[in-house]
Structure 1
């Protein structure tokens, strides 16, 4: 049964880092409403769709999004009014055509994506279903295992840790409630362990984990292992990295930063392989520069005890995912719909991954929001595990609560068993 779009309206709000973002309401003629907004990341791939900002230094240091808001209200809204809200593909293709650029730079990927989400939510409302059940085509059977970003790399006053995120994943939990508790307990115990190691309480990093206490990734992994052991979770929690290596890559001499020195891709691959043989890693994300197409197949061939994953490398783009698969460069990708700009394109990348036995790992963005659609996708697509962020800050806690709530509201729903996905 059709539900016709009556109005599309955008406004400017702010994300969890107080950066302006686009929010859109879509209302149908029979009274159903969907709302969507476009969070942005800190580690942003060069091939991501355009986040259109005003560049007015007198407002939010140039980050305001009034142009993108106006593009929704003046150009996108008139084009979509009268369309069937359940025609997601048609709606997204209409906006892509209206923009006319691969990177969505005319209307703004943030404008298009916010509308895409809002229509998706309105369609689920019209179907009288939670969005995740609408995506799944019925009641969901599992919720994914969450992961927790506990230590954040980056440039600090006393050191630079090139690996962006040190992540733990309670793969040995029996229930979602236990998985959440294991992650939180370990995160809280880690504060004590780091304080003992450095002699001072760790500072809160930009992504809400603890600031890296060492330039040496192995030292940090040992500290996290100590916290895991103290909590009694030995053998039930694995590791993951988001290296975000493009952030520390020098294109002039083709080197990466590691433990205070510049190394080549071969050295970085060898070192990472060593870490995966000492510690149990579920996945390693963005080990190399996002355009290092030559080295990724080498890393995938050499590092066999974990899953090699692309984020900035793939940017949820079906074409880049296809190229990486044909080069045998990875085991899967991070699913971030706003990178590619529409729900239709994001699901196309997901479907390609499923057809080719690749992992799709939904993830929020650094500039997150409460009610992020990525959680509906994570549960509705019935994936094995996801990236949640640090167990601190409301929009990240909201993602954990979403999983526990979804399990409770769907009789028979359980925590996904990811043992077949582990390589250690």
Structure 2
């Protein structure tokens, strides 16, 4: 037994310059863990509730810390997380804030790993298998809620599926990001960057698809292995009064299903996240069936929100074949692992994901390795994004 003896909470900056919560956890034998909560811009209606950082810290200090300090064993993560749930008492962390809850939960897991002298991914029960590494999705063109006056589709993602090592994959995505920038320059298109470091040019979705195809071809020729791409549509952000509102048109739910199916097939997309509204399980099931002859990972983010009840509804209706995993969406490591286990048992793939408002925390890299996830979303550039990618390469290097 290794008691958690001290929790320190503080506000820190996230990548958008907003305050988020960082937690330091110390154990009786000197084990230490530090973690910080990310935050999203395109957030699902059913996510755990984030409070303003200072309010969350105040409420957590009052209601949760007395149930943690000197009371729970960091080697039993579920005891830590149950204490957080019991102190909160709401089911969605709306009392103490999911930002404080997930920061403490992740920090406690790190403290347990430190006490046992093992990397976090091993503490979580995983092993690095060398050839089986999570393929990183690199966000290279972005719009939607992450960048105004850019594409309607929120993310165009590189996927270096043929990379022989995680290092090759990471640098291929960085190459793809740079190549997209070069193509934009060649076309005389000025572009800033969105929340996640993706280029945010004032172009149409159709132009973005053309640029992605050209960039992928160039980088494949350079690196010598297969690269594909995918999308995060974030369709809930477009959904208004029963229609999907694009900058140049509107689509009915039926037209949106047909449009998404055509994109998946025409561009051989390996990934398509949230192609429909977050409440449309039946439509997502229809789309899943329509593209069942492809290898596209039809992924629920806002649809599932890392929640076992939402995921079970998707399983029961046949909606999607992949779940996006975001620990802060559900508020604790145990709830996160429960969603992953349910997905794997039912043949769903998992994609471990960052948020648009990020920190330098690298927990998701360890979760991806520990659970043998097929993919990880981190972005491709910017320090808070590369922190996760660099950690994946460190894990691979240590395990070699």
**TM-score category, normalised to shorter length:** over 0.9
Length, aligned pairs only: 394
Change (3 A) 1:155 1:310: closer
Q: Tell me the CA shift for residue 156 of structure 1.
A: 10
Task: Kindly report which structure 2 residues correspond to 1:109-258, keeping only aligned pairs within 5 A, or say none.
Answer: 109-138=98-127, 140-141=129-130, 142-154=132-144, 159=149, 161-197=151-187, 199-215=188-204, 217-231=205-219, 232=221, 236-250=226-240, 252=241, 254-258=242-246
Q: Tell me the CA shift for residue 127 of structure 1.
A: 1.2
Q: Tell me the CA shift for residue 397 of structure 1.
A: 1.3
Q: Deviations over 1:9-30 (max 9, x none)?
A: 2111111111101111111111
Does residue 1:344 correspond to 2:295, yes or no? Answer: no
* Whole-angstrom CA distance in 1 between matches of 2:149 and 2:33: 45
Q: Tell me the CA shift for residue 405 of structure 1.
A: 1.2
Does residue 1:319 correspond to 2:318, yes or no? Answer: no
The equivalent of 1:58 in structure 2 is: none
Task: Kindly report which structure 2 residues correspond to 1:22-421, keeping only aligned pairs within 5 A, or say none.
Answer: 22-53=21-52, 65-82=53-70, 83-138=72-127, 140-141=129-130, 142-154=132-144, 159=149, 161-197=151-187, 199-215=188-204, 217-231=205-219, 232=221, 236-250=226-240, 252=241, 254-258=242-246, 260-304=248-292, 305=294, 306-389=296-379, 391-411=380-400
Q: Deviations over 1:290-329 (max 9, x none)?
A: 1122311111111232121100111100000000010001
Query: Runs in 1 of length 4+ with deviation above 4 angstroms?
Result: 137-141, 155-160
The equivalent of 2:9 in structure 1 is: 10
Provide TM-score, normalisation by structure 1: 0.89
Judge conservation of contact 2:136–2:169 (CA < 8 Å) in 1.
Answer: yes
Judge conservation of contact 2:48–2:331 (CA < 8 Å) in 1.
Answer: yes
Judge conservation of contact 2:265–2:291 (CA < 8 Å) in 1.
Answer: no
The equivalent of 1:422 in structure 2 is: none
Q: Tell me the CA shift for residue 181 of structure 1.
A: 2.1
Judge conservation of contact 1:144–1:379 (CA < 8 Å) in 2.
Answer: yes
**Mean Cα deviation higher: 393-402 or 329-338:** 393-402
Q: Tell me the CA shift for residue 244 of structure 1.
A: 0.6
Provide structure 1 residue ranges, at least 5 long, that are not aligned to the other structure.
Answer: 54-64, 412-424
Change (3 A) 1:235 1:5: closer
Change (3 A) 1:155 1:386: closer
Measured on the aligned residues, the alpha-carbon RMSD in Å equals 1.9
Provide TM-score, normalisation by structure 2: 0.94
The equivalent of 1:57 in structure 2 is: none
* Whole-angstrom CA distance in 1 between matches of 2:160 and 2:128: 25
**Mean Cα deviation higher: 353-362 or 379-388:** 379-388
* Whole-angstrom CA distance in 1 between matches of 2:128 and 2:160: 25
* Whole-angstrom CA distance in 1 between matches of 2:211 and 2:101: 43
Change (3 A) 1:298 1:86: same
Q: Deviations over 1:11-56 (max 9, x none)?
A: 1111111110111111111111111221101111111011011xxx
Q: Deviations over 1:246-281 (max 9, x none)?
A: 11110x2x0002351111111112122222222121
1:147 is paired with a residue whose SS is strand
Q: Deviations over 1:73-121 (max 9, x none)?
A: 2221111122211121112112111211122111111121111111111
* Whole-angstrom CA distance in 2 between matches of 1:160 and 1:219: 11
* Whole-angstrom CA distance in 2 between matches of 1:156 and 1:111: 24
* Whole-angstrom CA distance in 2 between matches of 1:155 and 1:144: 26
Q: Deviations over 1:104-157 (max 9, x none)?
A: 111111121111111111111111101012123555543211111000023799
2:354 is paired with a residue whose SS is coil
Change (3 A) 1:158 1:139: closer
* Whole-angstrom CA distance in 2 between matches of 1:166 and 1:137: 30
1:23 is paired with a residue whose SS is strand
